[in-house]
Homo-oligomer: A and B are copies of this chain.
Amino acid sequence: MSKTPISSLGEFGLIRHLTDRLPKIQPSTMYGVGDDAAVMRHGDRCTLVTTDLLLEGVHFNLEYVPLRHLGYKAVAVNVSDICAMNAVPTQITIGLGVSSRFGVEDLEEFYAGVRAACEHYHVDLVGGDTCASVNGLTIAITCIGEAEEKDIVYRNGAKVNDLICVTGNLGAAYLGLQLLERELRTFRATQHGNLAQVQTDDSIHEKFEGREYLLERQLRPEARMDIVETLRKAGIKPTAMMDISDGLSSELFHICTQSKVGCDIYEDKLPVDYQSAALADEMNLNVVTCALNGGEDYELLFTCDIHDYEKLVPIDDIYIIGHITEGNALRLIPRTGEPFPLTAQGWNAFEK
């Protein structure tokens, strides 16, 4: 019997295919598959749950990712999913599969990163499962969060004329990855050992001089918990929100599809760090493409009512990049010339 390749459906198509028409039996289930986190009603508040699986060789390369950073990032990316619902992360659990090439010291490093992230985001590590694996390192993280029902923001609430905003800047994590991959190729060709372990050596430091920010964005991203707090203080409740893990275009596609709207994004409004621009130039990459399709920035993408404009403007680190339109067209308005369609290329993990 010949099998249908998973890549023929893609990640999103596969999830839709497998989770189509899931019943809801429990009265506490408010929202299931299809957003950054699931939502359950417990008493007068809601509990949110999100889960992520990180696999060695797919999501991270231990040739240049230090285990401490990996532990931190594993927590941060899950915290980010809870923030993207406008909720407060509270607890995490960690499932860890480790092969015999890892020693106790390696796991101590990983957990040091986990603890640092827990401290930073005020979440408690409350459980987990540690077991042997045949191949490499497997990390399964679940993050729990809390919110009042009225505060939760889904992907499906964007309305025509809403402002489209992003936090921080875009493309830096992707460019950090390109830099690490380039140095890894050089390193493999000239030296023995592990690039992750020599990153603290002076010899390797100069390779990354002036690019430290890009490395940090790739290796140790932060969840924008600060923005959730800032918006609350400013009295702004986004109409739709999600975090940018697969790339801006892909996330805009999710918000517009679920909200049944289109969008116009302005090229000259896309926030890009100067280190990103410089490295893109050096590596002959189009920096706008990096900003649109580079993943793993873990910034927040949100829409809000146009009447919130005055409240938004004075806030640091939030950028209005476009607005929601009628119909279903996602368009990029370039600095000069005609608008062209944004394609949600995202990240199809099942394509070779």
A215 CA to B33 CA, complexed, in Å: 33
Whether A124 lies near B42 (C-beta < 8 A) is no
Check A14 against B104 for contact (C-beta < 8 Å): yes
Report B-chain residues with C-beta under 8 Å of the C-beta of A43: 42-45
Chain B CB within 10 Å, residue with most, of A22, A31, A96: A22
Q: Which residue of B lies closest to A18 (CB)?
A: B111
The A interface, classified by DSSP as helix, strand, loop or mixed, is: mixed
B40–A4 touching, CB < 8 Å? no
* Interface pairs (12), CB distance under 8 Å: A1-B105, A4-B105, A18-B107, A19-B128, A26-B123, A28-B90, A40-B47, A43-B44, A51-B94, A53-B138, A58-B134, A132-B350
For the complex formed by this chain, how many copies does it contain in all?
Answer: 2
B90 and A53: CB pair below 8 A?
no
- Chain B residue numbers with a CB within 8 Å of A45 are 42-43
Asked if A103 is at the interface (CB within 8 A of a chain B CB), the reply is yes
CA distance A6 to B107 in the complex (A): 9
Interface residue from B59, B95, B124 paired with A22 (Cβ < 8 Å): B124
* Interface flags, A212-246, vs B, CB<8A=1, else 0: 00000000000000000000000000000000000
> Within the complex, which residue of B3, B119, B134 is in contact with A106, where a contact is CB–CB below 8 Å?
B3
Proximity string of chain A (14-44) to chain B, C-beta cutoff 8 Å, 1 when within and 0 when not: 1101110011111011011100011010111
A26 and B104 form a contact (CB under 8 A)? no
Give, as a whole number of angstroms, the nearest-CB distance from A98 to chain B.
7
Whether the pair B127, A93 counts as a contact (CB closer than 8 A) is: no
**Chain B residues within 8 Å of A5, by CB:** 100, 103-104
User: Nearest 7 CB-CB pairs, A to B?
Assistant: A43-B43, A3-B103, A140-B140, A38-B126, A53-B95, A42-B42, A4-B104
